[in-house]
Amino acid sequence: MKSQLLQLGSRLLLLVLLVATGCSGSEFQDGDFVPASRRAQFHAQRTHWHDILGQHCPKFGVKRLVAVPLPQPTGLKVADDYKVQFSFDGDRHLTPWLSIIGKRAASPPYVEVELTRSGNTITSVTAEVFELDSEDQKEHAQLITGAPCCTCLLTCLPSPCHCAAAAFAALLLGLNVARTYQQRLRQFLSDIAGESGSSLAAAAGTAKAD
């Protein structure tokens, strides 16, 4: 009976470890492709997740602009809304639904995704849709020509962890404070050195007089 309980306990422990390992994020090195997928919402229906090819995926720690091809929606009208959602790192991080076709949608759609990292893992993802101005459209003409309404420009921006940014801000604040009092500190040290030199000179003069 005792051995059965031990076996059951070891199995439960192994299961908990597997679940904990599965919940943790993947570890990446700078330049590694981050697995990504997409799904669409059109006419109140949602598609399944579809993997994005590596050449269109973001790279860990690298700012990158790619053109993500999207399937042409069947029966699309001008007033219809077509939304997409992106997933990164094995569905661990999802973007909100982003409107890329419709009355209020930007054309061509330009999606800016910010991947926040902590060490070698991704901690969070944010996304926002913008409209490219004429200069940017000329600059990235090769990416958006061919099927402009079926292509989504995706920019992935690496971002450090907010806690690291806070520590860096505190460090900058400390440096500013040190610079503020640096002159006073130098003056204080020079005054001490001057007083010490005067005291030594006076002591030497007294000893010589004796």
Segment 75-95 mean pLDDT: 85
Residue type, 205: G
Overall pTM > 0.75: no
- Mean pLDDT comparison of 48-57, 71-80, 154-163, highest-scoring range: 48-57
- Radius of gyration over alpha carbons of the chain, in Å? 30
Q: How many domains does the chain have?
A: 1
- Mean pLDDT comparison of 26-30, 89-93, 198-202, highest-scoring range: 89-93
Closest CA to 156 of 48, 28, 23, 21: 28
Which residues make Cβ contacts (< 8 Å) with residue 150, sequence separation at least 6? Answer: 69, 70, 71, 72
Name the helix (H) or strand (E) containing 137.
helix 134-139
- Is 137 inside a domain boundary? yes
- Is 159 inside a domain boundary? yes
Q: What is the DSSP letter of 194?
A: H
What average pLDDT does the chain have?
66
What pLDDT digit, counting tens, does each position of 153-207 carry? 556 556 654 434 333 333 333 333 444 444 555 565 566 566 555 554 554 454 4
Give the per-residue pLDDT at 42. Answer: 84
Distances (CA, A) of 151 to 69, 77, 86, 110: 5, 17, 14, 9
**What residues pair up with 37 in beta bridges, in sequence order?**
51, 87
- Is 96 inside a domain boundary? yes
Q: Provide φ and ψ at 23, rounded to 5°.
A: -80, -20
- Is 82 inside a domain boundary? yes
Confidence of residue 141 (pLDDT cuts 50, 70, 90): low
Which residue would you say has higher pLDDT here, 77 or 37?
Answer: 37
Give the per-residue pLDDT at 39. Answer: 92
Give the per-residue pLDDT at 37. Answer: 92
Q: Provide φ and ψ at 162, rounded to 5°.
A: -60, -35
Domain of residue 43, residue span: 26-53+62-163
- Is 111 inside a domain boundary? yes
Distances (CA, A) of 3 to 8, 10, 13: 9, 11, 15
